[in-house]
Amino acid sequence: MTSFQDLGLEEALLKGIAALGFETPTPVQELVIPVALNSDDDFIALAQTGTGKTAAFGLPLLQRIDPSNRNVQALVLCPTRELCVQVASDLVNYSQFAHQYKVVAVYGGASIETQIRQIKAGAQVIVATPGRLVDLLVRQVAHLEKVAQVVLDEADEMLNMGFKEAVDIILEAVENRKSIWLFSATMPEEVRTIAAIYMKNPRELSVGNRNQANANIVNHYYLCRSEDRYAALKRVVDAHPGIYGLIFCRTKNDTKEVAEQMIRDGYNADALHGDLVQSDRDRVMQRFRERNLQLLIATDVAARGIDVSDITHVINYGLPDEPEIYTHRSGRTGRAGRTGVSISIITPKFEEKIRQIERRTKAVFVKMPIPTGFEVCESQLFHIIQNIHDQEVQHAEIEPFLPRIYEALADLSKEELIKRFASVEFNRFLSYYRNSPDINIHAKGGDKKGHHRRDVAGNGSLQRLFVNIGVMDGVSKKDFLHLLSTEFRVPKNAIGDIDIKKSFMHFDLEPSFIREVREGLEDFSINGRRVKVNDAMPRPEKDHKPSGPKWDKTKKKARY
Ligand code: AMP
């Protein structure tokens, strides 16, 4: 049986929980503590009250705090005042023999002045209800720039209670966070949306029995129109450059068709289906096993015998009829303790099927936006850069050629050389995706709460704006980015170059945000001058970094 020691907790915390009578970890603690202690992975833990979830996040959270650092290093958001008080008091109890961490609970219905004093006295952990924390952010009392771990406790309750907007504001404010740990008893759409927007490949940690989904597998799904299914598949594959994947199709014909199309489009892919003679099947399987084949497209029946341990992604090009088959398919990844991703590319009418699989298998599905052309190019570019960086050099073999290589490249500066090397592969994706459309399905008029879930189009479609403020007003790129994200909820990838000159600036913005940002900015004045925004000629330039403006809001409407 696993003990708390085995989980890697430090001595003082072990003493603290022993004093509380905790002898052995609960299942959720066993699952969560090692991940939370040893990685910066985002995760979603399906856990209800009473499962020991507070200690599951509380203990690693305390252990990761630097006691000598007086900044706010961790943030726990809870739906209610009662839970806030309970969590804060639990944290203090766990650490009774450890450092005297400064834990401050902030919640509505109590004196904000007292809470402000407590925070100013050097809070290291803030446990907060979202509404009150936003108040404190607006008053510029709570500084969250140094927060590394963010816990969303009872996320479903929090969103049920109408805190979505406050949670959005807070998650935008913890800009340097290392990880988000999300705890929820259920996975309604609102929780999924938060996860999809703010969490990076979240791991799913759920305490299940053997019939339930594998906790090492993250389930993502992408919604597209039927005619865009193949394009969506390519985007997803292209956005994961290191993919070693198994793509499932429902029928033999689909399998052949997709494989043929992929091969035609230059992918290292092949098909496995019942029409192949045994020797061909063996040959394909061997190439896949030896990683000479990057993508294997297969039917369920043909894939039965596949036992390859390090498949990174399973892609469901269409869902199977039975939820159990989904579990089998996805179980081809996430083996031997590794994390795997199971991706489904579906049309909207199959979304209900996803819910059915969730109910049956207890797997948590996260809806993901189909990567834009810009995002694909970005992933590919940094994959190339990483490859160049990690490239093993065969010194002896390359040595004789080096003088000629140096000579051939002698007229290029280091910067030019880097650009050219990076462009060798990148250009292929760039030219393919340059004017690629957004193939996500956008709900008309946004979601039911009126928040538009906007997907960012390719960089090519960013629009350049002029603003009549600049360095002399003390505007810096960081302040401006902060303003755009907190005030107008513009995600960072919707913003392009920001070029700040002495008395004015230009910046690039994804078009769907322009109206709101333009109207919103013009509600501001800076140093007594009314902010004006106009269209500008497209002309990308470099950033500039001066410091500290004062953004004063004029009498006009508040944005939140
Ligand atoms: P929670 O789900 O965090 O609300 O915890 C439910 C209750 O279980 C609380 O009263 C905890 O003090 C208690 N508890 C949590 N973990 C353990 C453990 N490993 N052993 C015994 N009690 C625990």
266: left (phi over 0), alpha (psi -120 to 50) or beta: left
Asked whether 86 lines ligand 1 (CB < 6 A), one says no
- Closest residue by CA, ligand 1 atom 19: 25
pLDDT of residue 278: 78
Domain boundaries 217-371, CATH class: alpha beta
Residues in the chain: 560
Measure the CA–CA gap between 428 and 377, rounded to whole angstroms: 9
Measure the CA–CA gap between 330 and 363, rounded to whole angstroms: 11
Order of all β-strands in the sheet with 529-530: 529-530, 524-526, 551-553
Q: At CA 386, angle to CA 540 and CA 237, rounded to 5?
A: 85
Asked whether 54 lines ligand 1 (CB < 6 A), one says yes
Q: Where do the structural domains in the chain lie, given as residue ranges? A: 5-206, 217-371, 374-433, 463-559
Asked whether 26 lines ligand 1 (CB < 6 A), one says yes
Per the structure block, which two tokens stand in for 93?
């109890």
pLDDT of residue 463: 80
Same fold flag, 5-206 and 217-371 = yes
| Strand pairing category for 529-530 and 524-526 | antiparallel
Pick among 3.90.1330.10, 3.40.50.300, 3.10.450.50, 3.30.70.2860: CATH of 5-206: 3.40.50.300
Measure the CA–CA gap between 160 and 156, rounded to whole angstroms: 6
Per the structure block, which two tokens stand in for 298?
């297969």
- The three state secondary structure string of 30-87 is HHHHHHHHHCCCCEEEECCCCCCHHHHHHHHHHHCCCCCCCCCCEEEECCCHHHHHHH
| Closest atom, ligand 1, to C-alpha of 51 | 2
Topology annotation, domain 463-559: Alpha-Beta Plaits (3.30.70)
Beta carbons within 8 Å of 326's beta carbon, 6+ residues apart = 316, 319, 320, 342, 357, 361, 363
Asked whether 89 lines ligand 1 (CB < 6 A), one says no
pLDDT of residue 68: 92
Q: Average pLDDT of each block of 10 consecutive residues along the chain (560 residues)?
A: 90 96 90 95 83 93 95 95 91 92 93 95 96 95 96 89 93 96 84 92 72 67 94 95 93 94 94 86 89 93 72 93 82 70 94 89 85 90 87 91 94 91 83 86 50 36 81 84 83 84 82 82 79 68 37 37
* pTM more than 0.85: no
Asked whether 25 lines ligand 1 (CB < 6 A), one says yes
